[in-house]
Amino acid sequence: MKLPFMRPKIPVIAFRGMIAARPGMISLDAYTDAIERGFDLAKKSGNLVLAIESPGGSAAQSDLIGQLIRRRAEETGVAVTAVIGDVGASGGYWLACAADRILANRLSIVGSIGVVTGGFGLDKFIARHGIERRVFTAGENKRRNDMFAPLKPEDETFTRELLDEAHGMFKDWVRERRGERLTDDDSKVFDGGYMLGSQALGLGLVDGFADVDQVVKELGGETAKPVWLRPRAPRGILRFIMRGTAEAVLDAAEERAAMVALR
């Protein structure tokens, strides 16, 4: 008979929230320690699980984390499985692609393989209210896409080219990681739209359906248990200093916008 402390343990890294280089978000700085601990613990079982609940965010942070996971996986020989819960879209799906296998729920929000940026045009507003803005720069493009100035055609062209290049990198990453599992229908896979897990399965974006508990038992046996790894949260007054109420509300709104609500 196996004693409780002899139960197989499978490390599970929890990626939850928006991806951004800000306190309280998913970032390389916040997650490096959890990733290193995860691969260290995974050496015994040979398996690591990524539990993903993220609608995305920073392209750079998504790539930095994904590349670190792949480097450690190749160095250790550990097999990585990603499990998408409610949402693994955009940057969240980028993280999932760092795994060797991607599982989801049939109602998970998956995909959104695209890039977006934006802002506001307030030039007419300040003119209407007689506001004079004074800005001094060195470099003709230092005020590119300035929200207080009319949009210039050359700025729009520059921005679209930048987005297309970033989108190309995203598509290359997905093709590299998913390979022949992807269907040939690029118009559905890479159009930037999100979809349900059931649709993602048909397009090769996921490999099947399961939750973390099922995956842990599949990898370690019926008695296996997950060892959850998360960034260490700031304590006491520091968490109020590092993350204000307004910022938290905005983050929650962004995350909810990427989910399907049943109500």
203 found inside a domain: yes
Alpha-carbon distance of 198 to 46, in angstroms, equals: 29
> Residue 71 and residue 77: Cα distance in Å, rounded?
10
Residue 164 included in any domain: no
Q: Which residues of the chain have pLDDT under 70?
A: 1-5, 234-263
Number of domains in the chain: 1
CATH number at residue 253: 3.90.226.10
Output the pLDDT for position 5: 61
Structure tokens at 99: 């795994």
pLDDT of residue 257: 44
pLDDT recorded at residue 6: 78
Instruction: Give CA 119 to chain center in angstroms.
Output: 21
Angle between helix axes 153-178 and 59-76 (nearest 10 degrees) is 20
* Tokens at 186, concatenated: 């690029």
Is residue 144 in a domain? no
* Residue 139 within any structural domain of the chain: no
How far are the Cα atoms of 100, 101, 254 from residue 12, in angstroms, in the given order? 15, 14, 25
The answer as to whether 130 is a domain residue is no
Q: What is the model's pLDDT at position 150?
A: 78
Confidence at residue 234, expressed as pLDDT on a 0 to 100 scale: 63
What DSSP character marks residue 19? B
* Residue 186, phi-psi category: left (phi > 0), alpha (psi -120 to 50), beta (remainder): alpha
241 φ, ψ (degrees, to nearest 5): -70, -40
Does any domain span residue 172? no
Residue carrying the six token digits 């996921």: 206
120 in any annotated domain = no
Global pTM reads 0.83
Q: Please check whether residue 22 lies inside any domain of the structure.
A: yes
Domain that includes residue 207, residue range: 4-112+193-257
pLDDT value, residue 247? 56
